[in-house]
């Protein structure tokens, strides 16, 4: 278990960045409930609409908009575990998310890389994924592997399968996987189960987790909903990671962006819990702001750091493990 290492340190003392007070978090939560209750979230997946309807949400199947009563939001949050085991292929590299435990991961997914031999900027390959996996395995301060690049030399229909293979073979740490849809998620789970020694072993020691991104503003598309449902059915961790862009796909203010971010993440979490109560979920964020001059998302700017700190604050507010990117 990676406890007290360079990265995974129990941060009981030291500094922290609180961008919002308790009162402000209360107001962000109240504003989020209002958005979920009155505006709702577009969910473009029949199976998800049925699950949400049966779970007590207000579903308009004609518009495919789901509105969430306050008590359903509260109930779903209460079902979530506060700590999540992200198991490594080697138990020595297990990582426990939650509380004040701090860890680090690579992040992706890029489509270009610089060739280390020629300096050429080219499309990334499965071999690049394997090399990064080996490097991540050797870096003591990295706790989780997320493939920073994709296998562009493999068909789109199977690239994520090739990436999981490269990750599991070359890295003994937990693998945070992307998936295109529910069918591919089934295949990825079968691959991980084969390595773990069966589905029951995978459930007990999840060596793979799945990440999905709601589509801002306020939408969960069919493929993302399918991944949530399939992972939840197998009790595997799900990272619901919103990527709102303040000033483009969300209000420009940090508080306004966080309300939309929060609504999207909670909608995904509710779907997971209504699919399978107690499913381990991670409150994720790669939200940032828009560079008005370049018309692009920017990272490494103060606004993103503030949004990331706010997202982590909301996760703590709900007692959920958090995962924030960039900043």
Bin 173: left if φ > 0, else alpha if -120 < ψ < 50, else beta: beta
Fold of 20-324: TIM Barrel (3.20.20)
Q: What is the pLDDT of residues 264-273, one digit of tens each?
A: 999 999 999 9
| Averaged pLDDT for residues 26-33 | 97
Would you tell me how many other CB atoms lie within 10 Å of the CB of residue 134? 14
| Averaged pLDDT for residues 230-258 | 93
Q: d(Cα 225, Cα 238) in Å, to the nearest integer?
A: 11
pLDDT computed for residue 248 by the predictor: 87
Q: What is the pLDDT of residues 141-194, one digit of tens each?
A: 999 999 889 999 999 889 999 999 999 999 999 999 988 899 999 999 999 999
State the chain's mean pLDDT as an integer. 91
Report the largest interatomic distance among the alpha carbons of the chain, rounded to a whole angstrom: 58
Would you tell me how many other CB atoms lie within 10 Å of the CB of residue 148? 18
Residue with structure tokens 């007290």?
4
- Of 272, 277, 213, 217, residue with least CA distance to 48: 272
- Of 317, 324, 219, residue with least CA distance to 282: 324
Contact 205, 87 (CB under 8 A): yes
| Averaged pLDDT for residues 61-79 | 97
Q: What are the residue ranges spanned by the domains of the chain?
A: 20-324
């Amino acid at each position: 278990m990676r406890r007290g290492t360079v990265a995974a340190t129990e941060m009981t003392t030291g500094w922290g960045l609180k961008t919002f007070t308790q009162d402000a978090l209360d107001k962000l939560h109240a504003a989020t409930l209002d958005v979920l209750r009155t505006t709702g979230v577009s969910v473009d997946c029949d199976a998800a609409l049925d699950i949400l309807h049966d779970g007590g949400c207000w579903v308009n199947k004609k518009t495919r908009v789901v509105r969430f009563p306050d008590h359903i939001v509260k109930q779903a949050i209460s079902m979530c575990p506060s700590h999540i085991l992200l198991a490594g292929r080697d138990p020595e590299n297990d990582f426990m998310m939650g509380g004040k435990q701090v860890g680090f991961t690579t992040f992706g997914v890029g489509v270009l890389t610089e060739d280390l031999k020629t300096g050429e900027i080219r499309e990334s390959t499965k071999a690049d994924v394997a090399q990064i996996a080996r490097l991540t395995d050797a870096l003591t301060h990295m706790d989780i592997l997320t493939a920073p690049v994709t296998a562009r030399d493999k068909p789109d229909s199977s690239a994520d399968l090739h990436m999981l293979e490269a990750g599991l073979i070359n890295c003994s740490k937990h693998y945070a996987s992307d998936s295109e849809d529910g069918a591919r998620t089934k295949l990825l789970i079968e691959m991980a189960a084969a390595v773990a020694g069966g589905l029951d072993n995978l459930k007990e020691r999840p060596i793979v987790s799945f990440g999905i991104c709601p589509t801002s503003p306020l939408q969960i598309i069919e493929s993302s909903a399918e991944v949530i449902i399939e992972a939840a059915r197998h009790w595997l961790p799900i990272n619901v990671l919103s990527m709102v862009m303040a000033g483009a796909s969300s209000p420009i203010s940090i508080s306004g962006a966080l309300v939309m971010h929060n609504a999207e993440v909670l909608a995904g979490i509710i779907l997971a819990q209504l699919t399978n109560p107690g499913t381990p979920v991670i409150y994720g964020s790669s939200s940032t702001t828009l560079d008005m001059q370049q018309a692009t998302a920017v990272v490494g700017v103060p606004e993103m750091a503030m949004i990331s700190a706010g997202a982590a604050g909301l996760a703590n507010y709900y007692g959920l493990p958090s995962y924030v990117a960039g900043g």
